[in-house]
Structure 1
Amino acid sequence: MNQLTYRLEPNDAERLVVQQAIENYIQSFLTQLPSLPAFVDTPDKGAGLLESPISENPIPIDQALALLKKEVDEPGINSASGGHLGYIPGGGLYYSGLGDYLAAATNKYAGIFFSAPGAVRMENQLLRWMAGLIGFPENAAGNLTSGGSIASLIALATARDAQNITSRLIPDAVVYTTAHAHHCLDKALRIAGLGECPVRYIPMDEQYRMQPEALSEAITQDKAAGLTPWLIIASAGTTDVGAIDPLQAIAAIAREHSLWYHVDAAYGGFFALATSGKSRLAGIELADSVVMDPHKGLFIPYGSGAVLIKNQKQAAETHHYQAHYMQDALSAIEEASPADLSPELSKHFRGLRLWLPLKLHGVAAFREALEEKLTLARYAYAQLQQLPGFETPVEPELSVVIFRYVPQQEAMDTNAFNQKLIKAVQADGRVFLSSTMLEDRFMLRMAILSFRTHQPTIDLALTILQEKAKELELNWEA
């Protein structure tokens, strides 16, 4: 046998050398993290990686790690930083990384119960725990996904079949949501073959929440016109401003008209753990399906979403499969297999990256961290209201704070000023903020959801905003 094939199986000593080098790299990164910038805009943006092409011959671990550090970890947003206050920050718990290491090394196939009964039990246990958080029944269907996009696709495909939306009905099958619904939902509709469905964007109130009266009126009008309303999509934490739609009122309308009720709680769902957050999500338990992302509210690394569907039978009817080569696995029915509730067959054992930190930290630590983020958002909002020139049009319901700076000189265009302000903050690099549009207003966003973000980080961000706004006013060029 060709001895080269054995190179893929390093011995004990070789494994230890590489493992120690990687662990040293990680420990150094975590030790330095508090002083590292939250954003770095390098000239080549990691293009130096291409100067070391994939080749026939190996390179030493120290050389590989040097490439990783310079070309991958340094440029762009430092997602592990507590200064990452843009978009909706992802997590990066250390124990989750160890969970991924364990999952990859043991390589359990967690798609079907027959193959890995313990792994499937673990993932289903986590999903039942999530169901309990939002008031879903214990026997609800669920799946740990790569993120909110695939979770939304699973939910909307299930809704399509449960509502009997066949191809002939699609052009007249109406969907109801708001203009602030996440774009992955529109993408999921298109991928699920529902791109021709009319979509009604229901008006929002001054806090950017769906107006139930307008929803009810739209459904009634569409029915009178001979159309087929079938799906309402509400948000429990919009990306733009963190708004929570009136979930209970929308649920009542969905029941009245027999529509599928989906709640996108990818960002906001896990605030149900926090004492002050749970009441804000009242009504989420009335949904037919809910999406919530552990890589947001539970601080797990990117690639961790979840979908919960109240009726397991409906989810299975959309996603189950059979194949002759899988006949040995068909008798194992003690637990629902993820492959029967999702488009995925081959899948990463995602449960371990969530189970391990929950077990090692305990749920109370997550509850306290989420409560802190809600407190920090209220703090940032209150501080911005006191700062001259800053405008805060939306009171935060969760942990997104929306604002802009209105310059004193009328000759300064407010939108242009804030576009320059966000670029100045990002170029500074100590914190990273993002922006959005509210109607025709260019707004800045402070999204507070990193477990490493604490009050000194918020104070630093506020200081930088004041400094950069003052510099821009003094040196303004239209």
Structure 2
Amino acid sequence: GLMVSNRYRHLLDGTRLADSVTVDFHKTFFQPVSSSALLVRDRTMLEHVTYYADYLNPESAALAEVPNQVDKSIQTTRRFDALKLWMTLRIMGADAIGALFDEAIDLATRVGSLLAADDDFELAADPQLSTLVFRYRPRIPGSGPANPARMLSEDAADTLNLAIRAAVFASGEAVVAGTKVAGRHYLKFTLLNAEASLGDISDIIGLLRRTGAQLLASTATAEATA
């Protein structure tokens, strides 16, 4: 998507020096799966995946320059995946796709600011594109000077965030992805829905907070009655 971005294209500076790049149109060109491409500076590089079979793409046909997509892929029979991308570009145009991706990046930036300002959440890193990696890790209130407020431990945060994901999924209200950073469990947003708003994502953050607080409360109750 950065290739057609109006404001963030500079993040691809330097890729023009590459001999080859892969592009996943499924993500930031908003295409249904699957839609991807390998772009090469020198078309002869594609010879590395070329194998001639008499029943499929005989070498004589190649010498006669008969078009054959088998020479450009390790796949043989495949769907016309390029059609949907072609249709999108023809109907919307590259500038409109770039504008949508710019909006997705802007939304991720605003959501990142919300999470960074919230004491109950930790960002693994500031968002660069449309993905945010974070976790719910609130401070545990203390009971007095001898037992001050403390940060939830790393192990407890791992257990809690895994439980939050499972509980939210089971509720049917949202599906939140997960990942690991330095061996620790985190939650993940990939914001590529052009209809999503800051309010929509704030609602999901609120759901994560409520779910986490309920799980912590139930754990504390169970420990107190054990």
TM-score normalised by the chain length of structure 2: 0.81
What is the alpha-carbon distance in structure 1 between the residues aligned to residue 72 and residue 123 of structure 2? Answer: 43
**Does residue 1:474 correspond to 2:217, yes or no?**
yes
Mapped contact 2:6–2:95 kept (Cα < 8 A) = no
What is the alpha-carbon distance in structure 2 between the residues aligned to residue 368 and residue 454 of structure 1? Answer: 15
Shift, 1:370, TM fit: 0.3
Amino acid in the other structure paired with 2:7: S
Structure 1 residue runs of 5 or longer lacking an equivalent are: 1-269
What is the alpha-carbon distance in structure 1 between the residues aligned to residue 55 and residue 135 of structure 2? Answer: 60
3-state SS in 2 of match to 1:430 = coil
Mapped contact 2:6–2:99 kept (Cα < 8 A) = no
What is the alpha-carbon distance in structure 2 between the residues aligned to residue 407 and residue 435 of structure 1? Answer: 18
What is the alpha-carbon distance in structure 1 between the residues aligned to residue 139 and residue 198 of structure 2? Answer: 29
What is the alpha-carbon distance in structure 1 between the residues aligned to residue 113 and residue 139 of structure 2? Answer: 21
**Does residue 1:366 correspond to 2:97, yes or no?**
yes
Shift, 1:330, TM fit: 4.2
Selected match of 2:27 from 296, 300, 307? 296
Runs of 4+ in 1 over 6 A off after TM superposition: none
- Which residue number corresponds to residue 333 of structure 1? 65
What is the alpha-carbon distance in structure 2 between the residues aligned to residue 337 and residue 323 of structure 1? Answer: 13
- Which residue number corresponds to residue 78 of structure 2? 347
- Measured against aligned partners, the alpha-carbon deviations of 1:53-90 in whole angstroms (never above 9, x if no partner) come to xxxxxxxxxxxxxxxxxxxxxxxxxxxxxxxxxxxxxx
- Which residue number corresponds to residue 312 of structure 1? 43
- Measured against aligned partners, the alpha-carbon deviations of 1:209-246 in whole angstroms (never above 9, x if no partner) come to xxxxxxxxxxxxxxxxxxxxxxxxxxxxxxxxxxxxxx
Q: What is the CA RMSD across the aligned residues, in angstroms?
A: 2.4
- Measured against aligned partners, the alpha-carbon deviations of 1:116-166 in whole angstroms (never above 9, x if no partner) come to xxxxxxxxxxxxxxxxxxxxxxxxxxxxxxxxxxxxxxxxxxxxxxxxxxx
Shift in alpha-carbon separation, 1:470–1:316, aligned structure 2, 3 A = same
Mapped contact 2:132–2:189 kept (Cα < 8 A) = yes
What is the alpha-carbon distance in structure 1 between the residues aligned to residue 57 and residue 190 of structure 2? Answer: 45
Amino acid in the other structure paired with 2:184: R
What is the alpha-carbon distance in structure 2 between the residues aligned to residue 365 and residue 454 of structure 1? Answer: 18
Mapped contact 2:136–2:209 kept (Cα < 8 A) = no
Mapped contact 1:407–1:417 kept (Cα < 8 A) = no
- Which residue number corresponds to residue 197 of structure 2? 454
| Mean CA deviation greater in 286-295 or 319-328 | 319-328
| Structure with more relative contact order (C-alpha pairs < 8 Å, separation 6 or more) | 1
- Measured against aligned partners, the alpha-carbon deviations of 1:226-283 in whole angstroms (never above 9, x if no partner) come to xxxxxxxxxxxxxxxxxxxxxxxxxxxxxxxxxxxxxxxxxxxx22211232111211
**Does residue 1:402 correspond to 2:133, yes or no?**
yes
Shift, 1:365, TM fit: 2.1
Shift in alpha-carbon separation, 1:460–1:306, aligned structure 2, 3 A = same
- Which residue number corresponds to residue 166 of structure 2? 423
**Does residue 1:434 correspond to 2:165, yes or no?**
no
Amino acid in the other structure paired with 1:434: A
Structure 2 residue runs of 5 or longer lacking an equivalent are: 141-149
Shift, 1:326, TM fit: 5.1
Mapped contact 2:121–2:135 kept (Cα < 8 A) = yes
